[in-house]
């Protein structure tokens, strides 16, 4: 057994010696210039890796900051802009498309370019789309091409979520009535937001504002907030997603305006709908009904008003943004990444 092991060991040494000799001869036979060139390239590669590793990250601006970078004062499309530093819709910047394209590239590197054709086309040609759109539909931030367009959508467009909201009508209404009692003690209770209107009062109570949960408000409406988690198509992870209670007092008119994008459907669940209230989208009027959902595309020019009397009380709806049914699952994931809050 020992003899066999020794022979095998000697054979291994002979093979190793032959291998080394062959390698040395190969180096000798090789052109010296080629060896030096390879060595220089190797040194350059090592230096590059070291340099990139030490370089601080490039200071890319966020989507929100680019949208907030220009002067939003005055009127645009007849709508009085709020000038809030956090409002996606109310600010614009020439660098936005470049930033969106960078975000798309980052998404594709992490995941895939598969299914990104429409988003790529939309971002690359966003300026042309937004400037050449007919005045009836002109989303102000992002337009996804080749989506079917209509001012109103049938209930079947997002059937599961519509039915779930309508089944929970009483739950949402009860939580609203509890909230609304606070108005008897002060003009604008904590958590409510006053919106600019040419006449009357329009106040909103956000649970989700531009993709960001409002914890203090959600604690005041726990069952309604939990309900949002049961919706299959609720936009909750990007800046185009909102959920709120919207209240119009009698005599209120909301000036015509456009929403920021066509990738969503805005859903209104009627909580209190007195007579004399109307929603007009793309020139087509509709009325709300208590306990029923009304679906529309707010990238169309739209307005709402309450012409009822003081005795009629306010018009109240629960508003939530749902995905447009023709936005594919891969596109939704990419749009959530591109338009993530704070990106």
What CATH number is attached to the domain comprising 280? 2.60.120.330
pLDDT of residue 125: 85
pLDDT of residue 340: 94
Query: What's the total number of domains in the chain?
Result: 1
Please say whether the beta carbons of 278 and 302 come within 8 A.
Answer: no
Residues 92-130 as b/e (b if ≥16 CB within 10 A, e otherwise) read bbeebbebbbbbbeebbeeeeeeebebbeebbeebeebb
Which structural domain range is residue 298 located in? 152-183+190-327
Is residue 239 a part of any domain in this protein? yes
Is residue 165 a part of any domain in this protein? yes
Low-confidence ranges of the chain (pLDDT < 70): 1-35, 37, 47-94, 185-186
Q: Which residues, 6 or more positions from 265, have their beta carbon under 8 angstroms from its beta carbon?
A: 153, 157, 158, 295, 296, 297, 321, 322, 323, 324, 325
Eight-state DSSP code of residue 57: P
Is residue 35 a part of any domain in this protein? no
Neighbours of 76 (CB within 10 A): 14
pLDDT of residue 93: 55
Is residue 84 a part of any domain in this protein? no
Q: Distance of alpha carbon 342 from its chain centroid, rounded?
A: 10
Is residue 306 a part of any domain in this protein? yes
pLDDT of residue 92: 54
* Residue whose token pair is 């009508």: 169
pLDDT of residue 274: 96
Please say whether the beta carbons of 303 and 254 come within 8 A.
Answer: yes
pLDDT of residue 20: 62
pLDDT of residue 178: 94
Is residue 13 a part of any domain in this protein? no
pLDDT of residue 44: 72
Is residue 40 a part of any domain in this protein? no
User: Phi and psi for 247 in degrees, rounded to 5?
Assistant: -125, 125
pLDDT of residue 297: 97
| 131's tokens | 């400037």
pLDDT of residue 51: 54
Query: In terms of residues, how long is the chain?
Result: 343
Is residue 289 a part of any domain in this protein? yes
């Amino acid at each position: 057994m020992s003899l066999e092991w020794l022979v095998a060991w000697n054979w291994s040494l002979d093979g190793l010696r032959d291998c080394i000799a062959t390698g040395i001869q190969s180096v000798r036979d090789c052109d010296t210039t080629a060896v030096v060139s390879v060595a220089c390239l190797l040194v350059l590669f090592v230096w590059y890796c070291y340099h990139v590793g030490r370089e601080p990250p490039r200071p890319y601006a966020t989507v929100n900051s680019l949208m907030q970078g220009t002067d939003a004062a005055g009127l645009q499309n007849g709508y009085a802009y709020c000038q809030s530093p956090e409002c996606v819709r109310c600010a614009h910047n020439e660098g936005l498309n470049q930033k969106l394209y960078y975000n798309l590239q980052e998404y594709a590197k992490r995941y895939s370019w598969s299914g990104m054709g429409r988003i790529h086309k939309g971002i690359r040609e966003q300026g042309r789309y937004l400037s050449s759109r007919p005045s009836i539909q002109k989303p102000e931030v992002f337009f996804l091409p080749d989506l079917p367009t209509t001012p109103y959508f049938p209930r079947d467009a997002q059937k599961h979520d519509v039915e779930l909201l309508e089944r929970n009508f009483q739950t949402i209404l009860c939580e609203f009535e509890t909230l609304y009692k606070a108005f008897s003690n002060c003009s604008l209770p904590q958590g409510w937001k006053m919106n600019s209107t040419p006449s009357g009062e329009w106040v909103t109570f956000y649970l989700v504002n531009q993709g960001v949960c409002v914890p203090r408000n959600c604690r005041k409406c726990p069952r309604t907030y939990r309900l949002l988690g049961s919706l299959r198509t609720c936009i909750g992870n990007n800046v185009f997603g909102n959920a709120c209670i919207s209240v119009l007092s009698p005599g209120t008119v909301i000036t015509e305006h456009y929403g920021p994008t066509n990738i969503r459907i805005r859903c209104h669940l009627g909580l209190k709908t007195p007579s004399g209230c109307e929603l007009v989208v793309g020139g087509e009027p509709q009325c709300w009904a208590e306990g029923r959902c009304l679906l529309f595309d707010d990238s169309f020019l739209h307005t709402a008003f309450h012409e009822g009397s003081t005795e009629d009380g306010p018009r109240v709806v629960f508003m939530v943004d749902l995905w447009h049914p023709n936005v594919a699952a891969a596109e939704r994931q990419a749009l959530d990444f591109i338009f993530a809050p704070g990106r």
